[in-house]
Amino acid sequence: MHRDKLIEFINKALEVKIDKDPWLFNGLQVLGKSEVSKIALGVSPNLELFEQAATWGADMVILHHGLLGSKIAKPIGKVLGNRLKVLLNHEITLLTYHHFLDRHPVLGHNAQLIKLLGAEKGEEFGYSDRLFWGWTGNFSPAISINELISRLQKLCGKIVKIFKYGPEKIKKLAVLTGGGAYHLSEAVDQNLDVFITGEANETTEAWAKEAEIHHIYLGHYNSEKFGIQALGKLLKNKFPSLNIKFIDIPNNL
């Protein structure tokens, strides 16, 4: 399949119009060969992932976190240079979608996790930098906190930490994957039962305890596999001839 038609389809599916993301560049970052038959998917740019993709014969890599990363200009040094070298030497196109894989109402990490947990997606959540990044969800009927933890363990394999200070029955939750810990106060203000994110910070446990809310953090990396995998399924269904592979590079954070 031609690279540009594929990029056009992905941008349309993820509703990529104007890139307002304040943190990372979205979309095309490295231009590779014009024809694509193998696509490697991943969460974050690192040399190991790019080397595995090249060995497998990938024509394109699609990630959540961008290689060229921050919108603050900085020079390309040894680490970025080695990563770029693999992509350029093997003519691999690199696409990255940060904000768009966070907040998309169907394909995003947050929407996908809510769906996979068996909840119904609610309202936008996690307003920062003039953008929403996550979603609320509702269980009907309510489920126990232990059942929610069990479902998360089946999906993620590992939960980094559970601050278990909320009610026994869970009806209302918010999901904001990645570095969403600073929005715990927003979950408290909305009187939610559980806040699920990828990280915690020094103030998290005290806030959860005093507000009587559960805070569960899954690890930044583990919480952000869902959107990129959903995008892969969409591409496979739309273009069955494509060979698509998710490359998992475990990360404890």
Chosen domain end from 49, 65, 97: 97
Separation in Å, CA 93 to CA 6, 44, 50, 168: 11, 15, 11, 48
- Percent residues over pLDDT 90 in the chain: 91
Q: Are residues 69 and 140 in the same domain?
A: no
What is the per-residue pLDDT for 154? Answer: 96
Q: Point out the domain boundary residue: 82, 97, 112.
A: 97
Question: 78 and 179: one domain?
Answer: no
Say yes or no: 81 and 163 in one domain: no
- Residue 46 scores a pLDDT above 90: yes
Shared domain check, 190 and 153: yes
Q: What is the mean pLDDT of the chain?
A: 96
Residue 127 sits in the same domain as residue 188: yes
**Does residue 235 sit within a domain?**
no
Spatial distance between the Cα atoms of 253 and 234, rounded to a whole number of angstroms: 28
How many other CB atoms are found less than 10 A from the CB of residue 189?
10
Whether residues 20 and 82 share a domain: the answer is: yes
> Do 116 and 164 belong to one domain?
yes
Of the candidates 38, 24, 42, the residue with the CA atom closest to the CA atom of residue 91: 38
Tell me which residue range forms the domain holding 43: 3-97
231 in any annotated domain: no
177 and 77 in one domain? no
Tokens for 123? 């309202």
**What token pair was written down for 88?**
């350029």
- Domain-embedded: residue 234: no
> Is the pLDDT assigned to residue 107 strictly greater than 90?
yes
185: pLDDT confidence band, cut at 50, 70 and 90?
very high
- The DSSP secondary-structure symbol of 181 reads G
The percent of residues in the chain predicted with pLDDT above 70, rounded, is 100
Give a yes or no: residue 152 inside a domain: yes
Do residue 107 and residue 194 come from a single domain?
yes
Q: Among 51, 77, 97, identify where a domain stops.
A: 97
Domain harbouring 154, CATH code: 3.40.1390.30
What's the pLDDT score for residue 70? 75
> What are 61-100's pLDDT values in tens digits?
999 999 987 777 788 899 999 999 999 999 999 999 999 9
* Residues 73 and 123 grouped into a single domain: no
pLDDT for 72 equals 74
Domain-located, residue 246: no
85/115 same-domain check: no
For the chain, how many structural domains are there in total? 2
148-176 confidence digits (pLDDT tens): 999 999 999 889 999 999 999 999 999 99
50 and 114 together in one domain: no
In the predicted structure, residue 135 carries a pLDDT above the cut 90: yes
Split at pLDDT 50, 70, 90, the class of 187 is very high
Residue corresponding to tokens 């060969």 = 33
Q: Is residue 160 part of a domain?
A: yes
- CA–CA distance, 93 with 91 (Å, rounded to integer): 7
Is the pLDDT at 111 greater than 90? The verdict is yes
Assigned domain for 252 exists: no
Predicted pLDDT of residue 253: 83
